[in-house]
Amino acid sequence: MKDEKGFFERIHEGDEIPALTKKPTYMQLFMFSAITWNRHLIHYNTEFARGDGLRDVATHRALLGNFLAQMLSDWVGEDGKVSKVEWSVRGGAAPGDVIMCRGKVVQKVEDEKGRRIGCDIWIENEDGTLIASGKGEVALSD
């Protein structure tokens, strides 16, 4: 039997968004630096990064934000689109680290602008240490 409820109706405040696991690589960080014209050595030169007090090259803030946006996009699928992602980095992630993007529904809005779902979003490492946190929003299709 076909599910008659739409995405908006199936979602409730407090629902968890399916986690997205990522494991950044040296090549990914180098290529992200290249595509974004980010020439800062902490993103692709281990010796420089360690000299700057880091344990290894650093995953870009913008790449972490892209991971969060991907999690939301994967979740909403064809039912909508990501309309907002805001985040603040609280810790670091290096190549080989397994990081988990997570989220929780905090608000459902239906008004003249349409249907939207607001979420708390965050990234943590394998031991649960917070790497980034923020807010996201998906706008649903009619």
Domain residue extents for the chain: 13-140
Rounded to the nearest 10 degrees, the angle between the axes of helix 61-76 and helix 26-35 is 100
**Sorting pLDDT into bands at 50, 70 and 90, what band is 3?**
very low
Question: Over the stretch 35-93, which tens digit does the pLDDT of each residue have?
Answer: 999 888 889 888 999 999 989 999 999 999 999 999 999 999 999 999 999 999 999 99
The predicted-structure confidence for 96-113, as pLDDT tens digits, reads as follows 999 999 999 999 999 998
Closest CA to 117 of 85, 139, 102, 87: 139
Pick the CATH number of 13-140 from 3.30.450.40, 3.30.830.10, 3.30.450.20, 3.10.129.10: 3.10.129.10
